Amino acid sequence: MATAGDMTHTGSSTAIAGVKDFFNKNLVKILAFSLFLLLALFLLYPIVAVLLKSLKGPEGWTLKYYTVFFTKSYYFQSLYNTLILGLINTFICLVFGFCLAYMATRGPWWLRKPLKIVSLIPLVAPPYLFALSLIILFGRNGFCTKLFGMDWEIYGFDGVAISQCLAFIPLAFMMIENTLQSLNPNLEESAYDMGASEATIIRTITIPLLTPGLLKAALLIFVMTIAEFGNAAILGGRTPFLAPDTYTMITGESDFEMGSVLSVVLIAPCIIIFFIHNYLLEGKKFTTIGGKPVASEPRRITPAIMVPFTLVTLISCGAIALSFLVVLLASFVNILGVDNSLVLTNYFDFTTNYAIYNSIRVSFIAALIGAAIGVLLAYVIVRGNFFGRTFLEMVSLSGFALPGTVLGIGYLLAFSAPPLKLTGTLMILALNCVFRFIAVGVEAGISKLHQINIEIEEASADLGASFLTTFWRIVLPIMFPAFVAGFIYTFMTAIVSLSAVVFLVSPGFDLAAVKIFDAAVYGEIGIASAVTVKLVLIVMLCMATLHYITKKTQTGVAQKGVF
């Protein structure tokens, strides 16, 4: 302790010591604040920019653009289509997902293996893969169209609905399976024991207890369906949907005001659902776990249930597997429907390969930054104790809730002028991916931190280490697996994402996902397929690495698909 005498000699060094002290004691708060600034700048500011743009006319604040939206029948139709699509898709995905999950947890062993594979699809395949496969089979030059002389128009509501279903059934399956597995099997066995038939058990026990889980799944699927850009844009045809309409507004007609209005309308249900999903439904579980774990043996299931469920399973798995197969085959076809010779030229297209190279670069940087910030955020959220901590957590996780198109437009509006002119650069793409998917790194970090007893850090402090030393030498090394998991998962998600980056690419700097989109729209199916195959292979490689690492280090990563 400095005495009065010391003060005169060492006044300045005491001041520096004072600053250092302050720094050490409040490191967490300082870190939290800096991270918050980053999030505010790169996540909140773009959204606000979109909101402001929708309200600002040439004469000042106005609601006239909203009026236009709600009065013009075209926009109303777009909104209507989007919402109906969301509802239909959610319903189908829930029903199919439930059947699949039920079979996966209680069905015969031979059925469980293929289901395991299907559950990996959402991590590997971007949803627009299914639009592509539908075009290959049922498009104007499609294989089935030509073979059977069909005149079914795949472009339009039907096509979009089917591709969205195929894309999100695996996701619904994964989420429902998760909940089903945490359901104590003894509950159903008790009901069985008391004389209930399989159907009665499902009706009176299984589904009522699953309701919170089903609700959460439904909300997530709904949000992802209405926000997804690729399928709706490729297969929409003359049928309007909100997400592709924002794209046409901005890139086609440079109408930023209407584009912003559409974005706000699109984002509204997403934000509401995000709140309900994360904060109202959190922790509401009806499942009871206790006692000894009982092996999930296959049960005898009566044919009345077994037959329809197996049928649903086989149809879903078949359709999804077929889609992949079809895309793979089409990648070798010269010009689909016109010249069906098998070639390798689609794989050696220079522009697309360069685009893939760009995608790898952008995703790599995004993953690096994203995982780093994510892990730091996780630490601050879990260990920090400051005002606004829940708010910080909410903002970090909100990237998942925001439709990619909205963030894409937001970045265009926010960063197209000094002092932060990023448009046309690699950084804008990377940063967009960083903050859209920051939740991945955050959740990996949070789950890892929950595994670490805080007493380890306390022991380090007890032994004399300063906060910084503890953080550097104890916390970070232990969190490293979470960083790696977050890195790989962010990389995988970023490289296939389309909805946001489609607004941010520039001539000369293209990305693989956008190339697929363009090629699909222009009918260059061979090219589109080849790039898709290459992307899928890259992502599969990442998946394998991720699987290996999480197994070795018991790190958990959020299993949500984000596109």
Partner 1 sequence: MEKAQKPVMLVLKDIHKFYGENEVLKGVSLEIPKGQLVTFVGPSGCGKTTLLRIVGGFTDATTGDIILDGRRVNDLPPNMRDTRICFQNYALFPHMTVSDNIAYGLKIAKWNKERIRTRVDELLKLVELSGFGDRMIDRLSGGQQQRVALARALAIEPKVLLLDEPLSNLDANLRLTMREEIRKLQERLQLTTVFVTHDQFEAMAISDRLVVLKNGLIEQVGTPIEIYDRPANEFVAGFVGYVNFLKAKVENVDREKRTARMSTEIVCSLEINMAQDVQTGEEVLLVVRPESVNLSISGNGCRPNCCKGVLKSYMYAGSIAKCTVEIGDKKMIIDQYNPREAERFHPGAEVDVEIPRNVHILKR
In which residue are the tokens 């994510």 written? Answer: 374
Q: Is residue 446 within 8 Å of residue 378, measured between CB atoms? A: yes
Token pair of 201 as six digits: 């058990």
- Collapsing DSSP to helix, strand or coil, 285 comes out as coil
- Selected from 58, 151, 300, 464, the binder of partner 1 by CB under 8 A is 300
297 binds partner 1 (CB under 8 A): yes
Q: Which of 184, 334, 340, 451 binds partner 1 (CB under 8 A)?
A: 184
Structure tokens at 157: 């509501």
Q: Which residues contact 318 (CB under 8 A, 6 or more apart)?
A: none
Give the Cα separation of 554 and 550 in Å (integer). Answer: 5
Nearest partner of 86 among 235, 241, 239, 246, judged by Cα = 241
Instruction: Using CB under 8 A, pick the residue from 1, 4, 147, 295 that binds partner 1.
Output: 295
Report, in Å, the least distance between residue 172 CB and partner 1: 22
Q: Is 293 in the site for partner 1 (CB under 8 A)?
A: no
Q: Tell me, rounded to whole angstroms, the distance of Cα 149 from its chain centroid.
A: 38
Distance CA 314, CA 404 (A): 32
CA dihedral sign, ordered 249, 253, 256, 257:
negative
Angle between helices 476-496 and 426-436 (to 10 degrees): 110
269's enclosing H/E stretch is: helix 256-275
Q: Which is nearer to partner 1, 1 or 194 (CB)?
A: 194
Q: Which stretch binds partner 1 (CB under 8 A): 181-189, 415-423, 453-461, 500-508?
A: 181-189
The least CB distance from residue 199 to partner 1, in Å, is 12
Q: Using CB under 8 A, which of 23, 74, 76, 286 touches partner 1?
A: 286
**Chain position carrying tokens 């926010």:** 414
Query: Tokens 């159907």 map to which residue?
Result: 199
Phi, psi of 142 (to 5 degrees): -70, 155
Q: How far is the CB of 117 from partner 1 (least distance, A)?
A: 22
# residues contacting partner 1 (CB under 8 A): 26
User: Can residue 149 be called a binding residue for partner 1 (CB under 8 A)?
Assistant: no
Task: By CB under 8 A, tell whether 306 contacts partner 1.
Answer: no
In the complex, least distance from residue 526 CB atom to partner 1, rounded to whole angstroms: 47
Q: Which is nearer to partner 1, 201 or 376 (CB)?
A: 201
x/- map, 246-285, partner 1, by CB under 8 A: ----------------------------------------
What's the angle, vertex CA 473, arms to CA 472 and CA 475, rounded to 5? Answer: 70
Backbone angles phi, psi at 297, to 5 degrees: -75, 150
Q: Would you put residue 190 in left (φ > 0), alpha (ψ -120 to 50) or beta?
A: alpha
CB nearer to partner 1: give 281 or 394: 281
C-alpha span between 61 and 317 (Å, rounded)? 52
Instruction: Compute the least distance from the CB of residue 180 to partner 1, in Å.
Output: 16
User: Judged by CB under 8 A, which stretch of 142-150, 182-190, 310-318, 470-478 contacts partner 1?
Assistant: 182-190
By beta-carbon proximity to partner 1, the closer residue of 297 and 462 is 297
d(CA 17, CA 23): 10
Which residues in 187-226 contact partner 1 (CB under 8 A)? 187, 189-197, 200, 204-205, 208-209
Shortest CB 293 distance to partner 1, Å: 11
Q: Which is nearer to partner 1, 176 or 496 (CB)?
A: 176
Give least dist CB 300 to partner 1, A.
5
Query: Min. distance of Cβ 186 from partner 1 in angstroms?
Result: 4
Handedness of CA 430, 423, 235, 156 (dihedral sign): positive
Short-list 288, 294, 283, CA closest to 105: 294
**Residue 118: CB minimum distance to partner 1, A:** 24
Stretch that binds partner 1, among 53-61, 290-298, 329-337, 507-515 (CB under 8 A): 290-298
Phi and psi at residue 72, to the nearest 5°: -75, 130
Calpha distance 213→270 (Å, rounded): 18
Which residue matches tokens 């061979």?
526
Closest-CA residue to 412 (of 402, 401, 403, 421): 421
Among 186, 340, 353, 553, binds partner 1 (CB under 8 A): 186
Q: In the complex with partner 1, which residue's Cβ is closer, 25 or 284?
A: 284
Query: Judged by CB, which is closer to partner 1: 292, or 552?
Result: 292
Nearer to partner 1, 109 or 350 (CB): 109
H or E element, residue 114? helix 109-118
What is the secondary structure of 482-495 as a DSSP string?
HHHHHHHHHHHHHH
Least Å distance, CB 184 to partner 1, is: 6
Q: How far is the CB of 110 from partner 1 (least distance, A)?
A: 15
290 binds partner 1 (CB under 8 A): yes
- Check residue 288 for interaction with partner 1 (CB under 8 A): yes
In terms of Cα–Cα distance, which of 515, 504, 509 is closest to 132? 515
Q: Of 4 and 295, which CB lies nearer to partner 1 in the complex structure?
A: 295
Taking the least distance from each CB to partner 1, the nearer of 190 and 345 is: 190
| Least gap, CB of 287 to partner 1 (angstroms) | 8
Contact between 108 and partner 1 by CB under 8 A: the answer reads no
Residues engaged in binding partner 1 (CB under 8 A): 184, 186-187, 189-197, 200, 204-205, 208-209, 286, 288-292, 295, 297, 300
